[in-house]
Chains A and B, each alone.
Chain A
Amino acid sequence: MIQMKGVEKSYPVGAGRTWVLRRIDLGIREGEFVTIMGPSGAGKSTLMAILGMLDSAWEGEYNFLEYTVHKMKPQQRVELHKRFIGFVFQQYHLLDDLTVAENLDLPLSYRDLKKAERQSIVADTLDRFQIVAKKDLYPSQLSGGQQQLVAVARAVIGNPKLILADEPTGSLHSSQGKMIMDMLKDLNRQGTTIIQVTHNENWAAYGDRVIQLLDGWIVPTEEKRGVAREA
């Protein structure tokens, strides 16, 4: 599903450059649940942004499904992102002024679906995540766990092939964190590829394998369960 080769990102600083990612070679198969770990500043979030096509200022090769991302124009990358990728953020990033239902509707509204169709998908999703009773509440009226649940629901509502979860439990206490991780695991079982960033070993264990990042480099690490190998 994902093939990265020699992906690098850097910022000019004075006469030199500061490297955020160095020579990233990475392969992820469809249906995998991959965990990215590493200390702060290792480049995890930057790698997620590149994977999710939120960042287009990098060098190297990136193939996503049958698409050659590194040769695509920014607008084409946005379209790809819209079709195949869902995001879950640490800070939930729900829009405060929209209700739960409206937050769920938001990504659909950017996919030019008709209103009736959108309403039907939103209703299904609310039902699937058992948050029908919360549909007219605003984010500020929900607990952190509930907010992240809505954020996950929003990430999957467009039926993405890949979910990128950047510290999805980082702002939650453990019971809420477990609920979210179980939810992600369920989605993975249903066929969605998931890449998560976490500092928590327990949550990392939900994944099939772990990729360690340090100072922008991938650190060779032991495979977990041997389900997949780097290409």
Chain B
Amino acid sequence: MDNLLLDFRYALRLLRKSPGFTLVAVLTLGLGIGANTTIFTIVNAVLLRSLPVNDPDHLVSVLGTDSRNSASQQQFMPMSYRNYEDLRDRNGSLSETAAQIFTGVNVSGKGNPEQLNATVVSGNYFDALGVRALLGTTFDREQAKKPGGYPVVVLSYGLWQRRFGADPSILGKTLTLNQQPYTVIGVAPKDFQGTFPVGFVDLWIPDAMHDQVLTGVFRDWFLQRSKRMVSVFGRLKQGVSLTQAEAELKTIAGQLAREYPNDNEGRSVRLVSLSEGSLGPARGIFVQASAVLMGVVGLVLLIACANLANLLLARSADRRRELAVRMALGASRSRLSALLLYECVIISLLGGAAGLVIAAVARHVLLLLRPPFLRAGDIDLPMDSSVLLFTLIVAVGTAVLFGMMPAWQAMRFNLSDTIKEGGGRSGSAGRRRALRNALIVTEVALSIIALTSAGLFLSSLHNAQRIDPGFESHNLLVMTLDLGAQNYSRDQGEEFHRRLRERLAAMPQVQGAALASDPPLGGSIARTVFPEGVDVGDPRRGKLSPVIQVDTNYFQTLGIPLLRGRAFRETDRDGAPMVTVVNQTFAAQFFPGQEAIGKHFRCLGETWNLEVIGITRDTKVSSVGEDPTPQFYLPLLQHYSSTFTLHVRTAGDPMAALPTVRSAVQELDHQLPQVQVRTISELLDQALWAARFGATLLLVFGLLALTLAAVGIYGVMSYTVEQRRQELGIRMALGAQKRDVLRLVLGQGLFLTGIGAAIGLLAGFMLSRGIGALLYGIRGLDPFTFSTVPAVLVGVALLACLIPARRAARVDPLEALRHE
């Protein structure tokens, strides 16, 4: 132990004596480790961190499946509330089976009217999760059985802080939600975000109040067995495996399909862990994107390690005399290896500490770059024990990685020769040079891969930005209004629609206004569609298709071209024939090779047919990168929606017209919250957030990799020139010109760069094939990436070699020879 401390102290002293080396080493490693810790912080927060609930490993998501729809669509389906009730009551595998549905609720009374994110949950929700209230209590499951008779809420910690200033006497106070009073009975713990790692839940309401709190079709459909609206999860009983529980629930689902064939034919369930189920289909994308990011920051760290190994290799040459003396005084090789390793461990730990500081700063930047739909506080990126442990492991791992080879090299000396020569020469100089060259090739190859990733994602972002969303995206403003939450009847709602349109039409800044049930790129409800002539009873023939209710101005206001047929008219209202407009993909999929105009189809559970009266161009429904999606439109006058999005086409800057538009809404109802007020450009930006975020991070890490590689190349070339001083002097004494020396040094640097670039490009090409699913519009080789990246890298390498090369060209032959 004494000896360990002694050697450790000596290693510390050596590092203190070389502050320049130590600073460069710690900073290099700090950047590498910091990049890794930063990305791990995100992965940890979203994928790895356990939900702050009791025994999360026994929680499972119960997902709906439907053999009538394609596999990709049925991976993470909700289920109907009625089916949930039956599954809950009949299964013996889950100790608790709970349900939840997400909705917006308008809060009025004290403070600004606003829409809050509510989760309507079964009475056993908190019991199932094993979560106790921070203040007050959670729901009483017996009281939660009385329909409409349990108007209480549990507030999220965030809402309690934000809207109520952390009022300690909040319990028992009343909150007006959708015009109804609710009593606050509890405040949830600070870190509890429901079943999601990323939280945007403001409050929880018992499902006994579904009729009061849900609006529009959600209220109408809540108790319909065919309408899949609730997310279900449960807690496995002790000793019951997920597979056993799934088998039992599938059996019950089979019974329900037989008991209610019209609603449940073809439907079943599957079970996954709650952590997997709660993120839904986004999880797969996130896992893939995380793998790419972790891979790239891993490359950055490897490059940093290669740089450090290079520095230590040079240093080890200088330390040969010291090591030889130590050995002559009785030190064993293992003790000397440990001594060298201590130095690496100290650098690593300091680098780890620097990395943590960098990650802490980067964390704040990441929170600023959060998706627009998340408020500050909705997402936490904690530097918790997992992050600290990860950083420690990475730091110690890198110490071994960059310390091993130089330590091994440092120990390869002939003791008596080294003692005799004072450590000035070494027979292993050639080996070290080969190692340094190999490190350069590796650094270049790794940075090419990192830069290729960045290039591919930049190209992908560029492609995504050029994707035509299918509608005119300039000067368009949207805002969502929920009249149902204000208890408007259909007549009142339609009157509101009419008066709003009138007011907007009178405004000079407004070129057009339209109403629709959903905003562009916001997704929409999907219905199972059976085309004309298909047996509605055949479960395999129906297909899910998004539907949106729009008014008569919609296509014109959004600039969606009508390809054939007609748009909706004022006459397409209740009592008139049921009509629909479909997009071109819908027409092609449901009526292949036929004229779709005049054809009919039916939605699952409905008794009426829809007649196709028009065909529009495709638009993007949920995301800009999606494949063409079949979509159909219904006239708002025939299919009223209490929640709707107002689309306003302005003559100039839409933000300039916003105050006038807001006033027009407020004049009609000053208590009506105006939600998600955005320009279409902002919506498109939001839709491209993930692509932009990924490209930005990868660009930063790619440039970091490039910088580190350039520093590495510069370091090695400088050292090489220093080592070859005498040789260069002899060459110049024999008649070599400056340009010959320049060419010699540059040639060596570029040769190594070229080998590394070739290896890196090959790996980059394989990478581009592997991550194709994350990229927009990139198939095979991306010309931009695979031409720009090597050009940039060779340019930077040239610059990195130029300074040492010029220094070499200035060598005075006489001085160099005298020096020897």
Contact = CB atoms under 8 A, between A and B. Distances in A.
A54 B416 contact: yes
Contacts of B329: 87, 106-107, 110, 154
A114 B2 CA distance: 7
A148 B497 CA distance: 101
Given A46-B416, A54-B415, A97 B328 contact: no
Interface string A36-65: 000000000110010010110000000000
Interface in B1-60: 2-3, 6, 10, 13-14, 17
B731 interface: no
Contact of B3 (A91, A107, A109): A109
B330 A93 contact: no
A82 B328 contact: no
Contact of B420 (A45, A81, A82, A97): A45
B332 to A, nearest CB: 7
A112 B322 contact: no
Given A45-B416, A110-B335, A97 B330 contact: no
A118 B416 CA distance: 27
Contact of A81 (B13, B321, B330, B422): B330
B14 A97 contact: yes
Pick the most buried of B3, B10, B328, B332: most chain A CB atoms within 10 A of its CB. Answer: B328
Interface in B319-339: 321-322, 325-332, 335
B3 A93 contact: no
A84 B671 CA distance: 96
A89 B326 CA distance: 13
A98 B14 CA distance: 10
Given A55-B416, A95-B325, A107 B14 contact: no
A84 to B, nearest CB: 11
A54 B327 CA distance: 9
A78 B334 CA distance: 13
A111 interface: yes
Given A45-B416, A49-B415, A109-B3, A82 B330 contact: yes
B6 A109 contact: yes
B10 A54 contact: no
Nearest to B414: A55
Given A112-B3, A115-B2, A93 B415 contact: no
Contact of B330 (A55, A78, A114): A78
A188 B14 CA distance: 37
B419 interface: yes
A93 B416 contact: no
A77 to B, nearest CB: 11
Interface string A92-121: 010101100000011101111011001000
Given A95-B322, A97-B13, A109-B6, A87 B415 contact: no
B144 to A, nearest CB: 70
Contacts of A75: 332
Nearest to B7: A109
B325 A110 contact: no
B416 A110 contact: no
Contacts of B10: 97-98
Interface residues of A, number: 29
Interface string A146-164: 0000000010001000000
Contacts of A81: 330
Contacts of A118: 2
Given A55-B416, A97-B17, A98-B10, A110 B330 contact: yes
A109 B335 CA distance: 11
Contacts of A106: 326, 329
Contacts of A93: 321, 325, 328, 419
B415 A55 contact: yes
Contacts of A45: 416, 420
A107 B3 CA distance: 11
A45 to B, nearest CB: 5
A45 B416 CA distance: 8
A141 to B, nearest CB: 15
Given A98-B10, A109-B6, A112-B3, A89 B322 contact: no
Pick the most buried of B6, B17, B416: most chain A CB atoms within 10 A of its CB. Answer: B416
B332 A78 contact: yes
Nearest to A45: B420
A109 B336 CA distance: 12
B416 A91 contact: no
Contacts of B325: 89, 93, 95
A115 B52 CA distance: 50
Contacts of B419: 49, 54, 89, 93
Pick the most buried of A75, A106, A114, A158: most chain B CB atoms within 10 A of its CB. Answer: A106
Interface in B414-443: 415-416, 419-420, 422
Nearest to A105: B6
Pick the most buried of B3, B335, B420: most chain A CB atoms within 10 A of its CB. Answer: B420
A111 B330 contact: yes
Nearest to A93: B325
Interface string A10-41: 00000000000000000000000000000000
A158 B322 CA distance: 19
A213 to B, nearest CB: 15
A110 B6 CA distance: 11
Contact of A49 (B2, B14, B330, B416): B416
A78 B3 CA distance: 18
Contacts of A91: 422
A45 B321 CA distance: 16
B330 A107 contact: yes
A40 B329 CA distance: 25
Contacts of A110: 326, 329-332, 335
A23 to B, nearest CB: 20
Contacts of B327: 54
Contacts of B332: 75, 78, 110
Pick the most buried of B2, B13, B330: most chain A CB atoms within 10 A of its CB. Answer: B330
Interface of A: 45-46, 49, 52, 54-55, 75, 78, 81-82, 87, 89, 91, 93, 95, 97-98, 105-107, 109-112, 114-115, 118, 154, 158
Given A49-B419, A89-B419, A154-B329, 16 more contacts: A49-B415, A49-B416, A52-B328, A78-B330, A93-B321, A93-B325, A93-B419, A95-B322, A98-B10, A106-B326, A107-B329, A110-B330, A110-B332, A111-B330, A112-B3, A158-B330
22 contacts: A49-B415, A49-B416, A49-B419, A54-B416, A55-B415, A81-B330, A87-B328, A87-B329, A89-B325, A89-B419, A93-B321, A93-B328, A97-B14, A98-B10, A105-B6, A109-B2, A110-B332, A110-B335, A111-B330, A112-B3, A115-B2, A118-B2
Interface of B: 2-3, 6, 10, 13-14, 17, 321-322, 325-332, 335, 415-416, 419-420, 422
Query: What 9 A-B pairs have minimum CB-CB distances, sorted nearest first?
Result: A49-B416, A110-B330, A82-B330, A107-B329, A93-B325, A115-B2, A55-B416, A54-B415, A110-B331
